[in-house]
Amino acid sequence: MAPSAELPGRDALTSRIVPSMVLSDGSPSSLTAAPTSIIQADPHVGAQKRFSVRGNAVVTGGAGSLGLYACDALLEHGLQGLMIFDVNPANSQKEIVQMREKFPETNISTLKVDITAEEAVNEAMEETVRVLGSVDILVNFVGVVGCMESLEMPASQWRKIIDINTTGTFICAQAAARQMVKQGKGGSITFVASISAHRVNFPQPQAAYNVSKAALLMLKSCLAAEWARYGIRTNSVSPGYMDTILNEGDGIAHHRQIWAERNPSGRMGSPSELTGAIVLLASSAGSYINGSDIVVDGGAIVF
């Protein structure tokens, strides 16, 4: 087989130059400088500032149930501008209108975006900067699930799940990070992984989904190391089974029962129960959290 145009041939490997990561030195002039620690005289001011969310955010999959709750929470904590990327934002038009009414002083916009299309994502990120002025926070909710016996799964389904959940997340993170680097003020990136990234689900077989989410944990760690010097923190949240429309219907009633029975809390999670972790990682309280994964699953992971 002839060597590809993109990869060096075997003979060229011995003369290649491998890039090296550059870490921040944490100095006062760096983008990872320590914040000033102050105990506020006014407890209300202290509480407000601790979890304050500054700047503008892009939330991919923001028109879904979990995404909408997260958007609302970020706005409650001070987010100045919001851009929702979704393959079909019109599906949640009613909820988005209500959000605009609740936050009349905030610019809340939507874009129809296929996150697997690199050029489309780059253009959408540029449009976000034009509309909002900057990109300071990225939260990646977009993801698809496929439950199928691995012996029967066509490679096309495997590729689609990996392409959306893993590659699409990287494309969005890269586009957002490039803008954050241009701005020179750092930023926060949060991937929504899953408990499926930590262990095999039961009873449903879903190897492709599990692998796609496990890959996000390593991607999060890699980017946390590479991008810290730019003041960009990269973390993830791993939800357990959440009680959303994706987990409704008589067809999975037996599965829901098993999921609840195998959880110390005896139930699935509510969408609002994920918002605390999302706000934490995007807020000033998360300034020293980088490369972390927060599991929000009611304790199921202990088994």
- Which residues are known catalytic residues? 194, 209, 213
Give the other-Cβ count within 10 Å of 44's Cβ: 8
Side-chain half-sphere CA neighbours of 12 within 13 A = 10
Q: Which long-range contacts (CB under 8 A, 24 or more apart) does 91-97 make?
A: 91/63, 92/63, 92/64, 92/68, 95/63, 95/68, 96/63, 96/68
Closest CA to 293 of 237, 225, 249: 237
Closest CA to 265 of 273, 253, 255: 273
Q: How many CB atoms lie within 10 A of CB 213?
A: 26
Q: What own/partner pairs with CB < 8 Å and gap ≥ 24 does 62-65 have?
A: 62/86, 62/89, 62/110, 62/139, 62/141, 63/88, 63/89, 63/91, 63/92, 63/95, 63/96, 63/110, 64/92, 64/141, 64/244, 65/242, 65/244, 65/245, 65/246, 65/271
Q: CA-based Rg of the chain, rounded to a whole angstrom?
A: 20
